Amino acid sequence: MSSSGEQTPFKIVVVGGGIGGLAVAHALERAKAEGRVDRLEVKVYEKRPDESSFQRYPIHIAPDGRSALSALLSPSELDDLRKRSSHGITHGGIVLHTPQFSSLFSIRRYEGETPQFVHRWVLKEVLEQGVDLCRDKRVVRVREVDDGGKIEVVFDDATHELADLLIGADGLGSTLRAQLYPEYARFDMLPYIVVQSKLSTPHASLPLLDSQGINMALGYKGYSLLLVPFSGKPLPPCPRPDDSDGPFSDPEEIRHSDVTTLQKALEGPTPEYVFANITVPAFAGWEDLTETAWIEHITRLLRSDNAHSDLIRAFEGDVIPGTVGAWQISSCGERRVPYGACGGRVVLIGDAAHAMPPQGGVGGSTALKDAENLAATLISANELGGDGEYTWPSRPMDRPVPPADRTAAGRILGLLPSFHREMIVRSQGFVKDATHRLHMANGFGWGRRMRNVLLRVMQFLWPLANWVLNRGRESAKRENARAAASPANRSP
């Protein structure tokens, strides 16, 4: 690689210090530290002064996300992440069951592949290593500078900065997307609300059908409830008043120190709890509900569906204060955010480019894959000392890289259109699949009636099918044992 001498570094500004933004910055800084790129400066700006409580939730990592992490992180960093994400989840399958814990369907897959789940704050701590991150600095607008091919980034404190390339990783409510592509300022809201919480319920107190994987209850009232048991260090008891049915009944009677102790225990490396994620039909005024109101709403829903008493009891008494969060699901649908603003010097990734329903870990994993591919594209560009060629590992065979995108001798502006097309094509498949699974799991309108009929059929057929499969397995084992014991197979 040629010496950069006194040349001005190629400057990249990343807007958004979430998973996607930190991941692409980490990969670029790692390449610089390893001498794989020439003259490069990367700066990440995050508008939040610190991490919100939302960042304390775990995220599901799909296969695409795991392969991206293997490329983004060094072997030692990946090993560290795996150790800090050892929660007893051994596979990426799922058990579907009724609210009474009667099995409907189950599958085990991705056995032994790790990590399956990662706490956001743990993943972000790993990705922040070596990254120049500036918090509490909000970007309000960007504009192209006529001379020199630069992008000017303007902040809310009236300061500004020049960059050669701007990466927009500022999430669902992206300021950059709203400014540069006003017709895509807002994505569609789907008719579902997600409510997440953490239960201090001992795992043995819930009749979970899979203690090492994902359990999902499909309710007849148009909801789905995800339960994931995280193994680790047991939490202290969930505090409650002596005369109360739950920790939210009379907060004044709860010892503040006990609540703080419990919440601090959640910040440990591997706390033991049950992660609960329920998707319910959207309704007017949901934004005004407090933690107490959400718990009451969920318990009423479970009671009306004749859910298992242990499940109702867990939500009544074991929801950890301060862990309840709710939001309405948004999706870009079939809308494809374009590329090319500011002379092609602004590129969007993650939710800023393609929001999708949180199903099967595709959201965070897609952001990681975007970061992996974008970093590889930039590293291969002439400006950073690359040869200007990058082969897309996930590009379908019938979609070759257009020759027009190899213009300007492999410079960044010649490579980015191909990156953007590949990202959009890949994400659209995930959006369609995630939306389909969301509707199937929860139902909407007339679809809910059809879904409920299907659930009752599954409730009858799956135990029968499972019995037949088990009989077949046992029969095969006996046949194999007889064959192994036959004289023809014995050693002389």
pLDDT computed for residue 14 by the predictor: 98
Query: Is residue 410 assigned to a domain?
Result: yes
Per DSSP, what are the bridge partners of residue 328? 193
Q: Each residue of 155-180: pLDDT tens digit?
A: 999 999 999 999 999 999 999 999 99
Query: Does residue 85 sit in the same domain as residue 141?
Result: yes
Q: Each residue of 414-452: pLDDT tens digit?
A: 999 999 999 999 999 999 999 988 988 887 655 566 666
Q: What is the mean pLDDT of residues 377-405?
A: 64
Query: Does residue 344 sit in the same domain as residue 396?
Result: yes
pLDDT exceeds 90 at position 378? yes
Report the SS3 class of residue 217.
strand
pLDDT exceeds 60 at position 280? yes
Query: Is residue 487 assigned to a domain?
Result: no
Query: Does residue 346 sit in the same domain as residue 388?
Result: yes
Instruction: Count Cβ atoms below 10 Å from residue 418 Cβ, excluding itself.
Output: 21
Higher local confidence (pLDDT), 7 or 150: 150
Query: Does residue 176 sit in the same domain as residue 218?
Result: no
Q: How far is CA 277 from CA 269, 284, 325, in A?
A: 21, 20, 10
Q: Each residue of 143-155: pLDDT tens digit?
A: 998 766 899 999 9
pLDDT computed for residue 403 by the predictor: 46
Query: Does residue 391 sit in the same domain as residue 429?
Result: yes
pLDDT computed for residue 260 by the predictor: 83
By C-alpha distance, which of 353, 386, 354, 349 is closest to 369?
Answer: 349
Q: Which of 6-10, 76-80, 242-246, 355-359 has the lowest mean pLDDT?
A: 242-246
Query: Does residue 290 sit in the same domain as residue 223?
Result: yes
Q: How far apart, in whole angstroms, are the C-alpha atoms of residue 192 and residue 376?
A: 36
Instruction: Count Cβ atoms below 10 Å from residue 364 Cβ, excluding itself.
Output: 25
Query: Does residue 199 sit in the same domain as residue 302?
Result: yes
Q: How far apart, in whole angstroms, are the C-alpha atoms of residue 385 and residue 79?
A: 29
Domain count for the chain? 2
pLDDT computed for residue 453 by the predictor: 67
Q: Of all residues in the chain, what percent are helix, strand and coil, respectively (each to 5)?
A: 40, 20, 40
Query: Is residue 231 assigned to a domain?
Result: yes
CATH number reported for the structural domain that contains residue 243 in this entry = 3.30.9
Cα dihedral across residues 449, 453, 454, 455: positive or negative: positive
Query: Does residue 292 sit in the same domain as residue 258?
Result: yes
Query: Is residue 490 assigned to a domain?
Result: no
pLDDT computed for residue 397 by the predictor: 30
Q: Each residue of 454-485: pLDDT tens digit?
A: 666 666 665 555 555 555 556 566 666 666 66
pLDDT computed for residue 78 by the predictor: 97
Per DSSP, what are the bridge partners of residue 141? 154
Query: Is residue 361 assigned to a domain?
Result: yes
Q: What is the mean pLDDT of residues 84-106?
A: 92
Query: Is residue 449 assigned to a domain?
Result: no
Q: Each residue of 25-56: pLDDT tens digit?
A: 999 999 999 999 989 999 999 999 887 655 67
Q: What rounded mean pLDDT belongs to the chain?
A: 85
What pTM value is reported for the model?
A: 0.85
Last residue of a domain, one of 300, 330, 360: 330
Percent of the chain at pLDDT exceeding 70: 80
Query: Does residue 151 sit in the same domain as residue 30?
Result: yes
By C-alpha distance, which of 173, 163, 177, 75 is closest to 126?
Answer: 75
Last residue of a domain, one of 277, 297, 330: 330
Tell me the residue range of the domain where 301 lies. 190-330
Supply 408's token pair: 């300007």
pLDDT exceeds 80 at position 142? yes
Q: Which of 90-94, 112-116, 387-391, 456-460 has the lowest mean pLDDT?
A: 456-460
pLDDT computed for residue 87 by the predictor: 92
Q: Each residue of 70-81: pLDDT tens digit?
A: 999 999 999 999
**Most confident among 52-66, 110-124, 249-263 (mean pLDDT):** 110-124
pLDDT exceeds 80 at position 111? yes
pLDDT exceeds 90 at position 117? yes
Query: Is residue 120 assigned to a domain?
Result: yes
Last residue of a domain, one of 405, 422, 442: 442
Q: Each residue of 419-429: pLDDT tens digit?
A: 999 999 999 99
Query: Does residue 305 sit in the same domain as residue 347?
Result: no
CATH number reported for the structural domain that contains residue 380 in this entry = 3.50.50.60
Query: Is residue 136 assigned to a domain?
Result: yes
Query: Does residue 372 sit in the same domain as residue 435?
Result: yes
Query: Does residue 182 sit in the same domain as residue 276?
Result: no
- Does residue 247 contact residue 254 with C-beta atoms inside 8 Å? yes
pLDDT computed for residue 3 by the predictor: 46
